[in-house]
Amino acid sequence: MIPQTLAGRRQLILDILGRQSVRSQGDLLEILSQRGFAVTQATLSRDLVELGAVKVREGKTLVYAVPGEGGDRTARVAPGPEEVSSRLRRQCEELLVTARVSANLVVVRTPSGAASYLASSLDHADSADILGTIAGDDTIVIITSGEAESRALVNRLLALSGRDRSDPPPTNLGTVQYPADKPRDDARLALATDSNTSTDLNKEYR
């Protein structure tokens, strides 16, 4: 029995396209359903793109095929977990800016235009913690089954990206950045000075 996983589904798609003629995504969805795999057309479209499937002419019709050596229809092996993990690590290093937890949601920020690219890799990672993703221009919302799963996922993504915390790096605006646990004595002095100045002005106008 083929496991109900991302890799298992894609291996089945490769086997189907290598053994029989499939004219449309609708036909392929029906075949997958008969084999026990219920997927949406959007998911199937991503699978076909990732597998490199193309339409080739067979007689007078066009059918889906996965080109092998020399352009034949020999099925290729679906990407293994190691390859998927390596791709996700590389993209986290390059694209992940911040990752924050909000209950059963993880909000990930990326450079502008990169959210859907990283979200695709997260979808393909076949992680049990991820129920789904929604990508905008520079933001990804990841849905998990609970807050504990969200925190575990954030820790994993930050580890993959090489970061050790979820807060964004401080922006250099020409001012001194103070650690949160260190008293800001000079700031207090400035406030005290402003207070004394205000008192002197009040005396002057009296």
For the chain, the structural domain boundaries read 6-71, 81-161
**The model's pTM:** 0.46
For residue range 2-57, what is the model confidence (pLDDT) as tens digits? 667 787 888 888 888 878 889 999 999 999 999 889 899 888 988 888 888 888 78
Two tokens, residue 19? 């053994």
For residue range 80-98, what is the model confidence (pLDDT) as tens digits? 566 667 878 888 998 899 9
Q: What is the CATH number of domain 81-161?
A: 3.30.1360.40
Specify the CATH architecture of the domain 6-71. Answer: Orthogonal Bundle (1.10)
DSSP secondary structure code for residue 14 in this structure: H
- Angle 22-26-32 (CA atoms, 0-180°, nearest 5)? 75
